[in-house]
Amino acid sequence: MEREELLERVGKIFWWHKMDLDGIVTPGRSNTLDKLEKIKLPDSLEGKSVLDVGAWDGFYSFECERRGAERVLAVDSELHSWGAFQTGQAGFLLAHEVYNSKVEYRSMEMHELTVDSVGQFDIVLFLGVIYHVHYPHYILKNLGEITKELMIFETAALTDYEERPAMFIDKKSFKWHPNIKGCYQLLKEAGFSDVEMVTPYPARSKVRASFHARK
């Protein structure tokens, strides 16, 4: 693809992820390289299967493929418009073309994710999604059954309100926020026996925290 054509196509899409597409960096709102460092994705995923939940433009899906994953399935909700821009799958499809990728994409709502609908995966990525959903316990229980080895769980979290594991906020697309204690409880109840917070967090009321949850 010629550079001018790629620049034009990139400019028509609302990007959430910053991604390098053949030397052109997309204007994503999320600092993906910073988050990639914080979630501690294994350096080698050779032979692993990966499910990326809430994949949006697919930065982490493609990164898993780059690290040797045998199969990667990216899932997200249906497309929505953002002003004059396309969102969601449009960015994924362009990146997929540029990378000549084999990552699969499936449009699904969170409550549709079950072992029957997608099968099981060695590794599940659940990054920046939990506070958007209406039924977190139900969704995490299903994802616990889908996960064979490791879930990497990342979220905005509260560091105070220790007497309650979560707060309902209902603001725009954010439904609620767990606190750090609540994150551990949610993951344990979802069937993960070994839960470790892998990203230190500063002592203020709301932070982003990353966890590795193993069976």
Contact 59, 19 (CB under 8 A): yes
Taking only the tens of pLDDT, the chain with its 215 residues reads: 899 999 999 999 989 999 999 999 999 998 899 999 999 999 999 999 999 999 999 999 999 999 999 999 999 986 544 444 445 688 999 999 999 999 999 999 889 999 999 999 999 999 999 988 888 899 999 999 999 999 999 998 877 655 555 555 555 566 777 888 889 999 999 999 999 999 876 655 567 899 999 99
Contacts 24+ apart (CB under 8 A), 60-68: 60/32, 60/36, 60/125, 60/127, 61/92, 61/103, 61/125, 62/19, 62/95, 62/96, 62/99, 62/101, 62/103, 63/36, 64/123, 64/125, 65/99, 65/101, 65/102, 65/103, 67/41, 67/42, 67/43, 68/44
Helices (H) and strands (E) in the chain, counts: 7, 13
CA–CA separation, 189 vs 184, rounded Å? 9
| Residue owning tokens 């609540």 | 182
**pTM of the full structure:** 0.90
127 token code pair: 């990054």
**What would the two tokens of residue 30 be?**
């999320």
Q: Are 178 and 133 in contact (CB under 8 A)?
A: no
What is the distance between the alpha carbons of residues 17 and 87, in angstroms, rounded to a whole number?
Answer: 11
In angstroms, the CA 129 to CA 154 distance is 8
Q: How many domains does the chain have?
A: 1
Find the CATH number of the domain harbouring 130: 3.40.50.150
Q: Around 58, how many Cα atoms within 13 Å sit in the side-chain half-sphere?
A: 28
Quick check: helix, strand or coil at residue 186?
helix
> In which domain, by residue range, is 127 found?
3-214
Classify residue 201 by burial, with Cβ atoms within 10 Å: 0-12, 13-18, 19+: middle
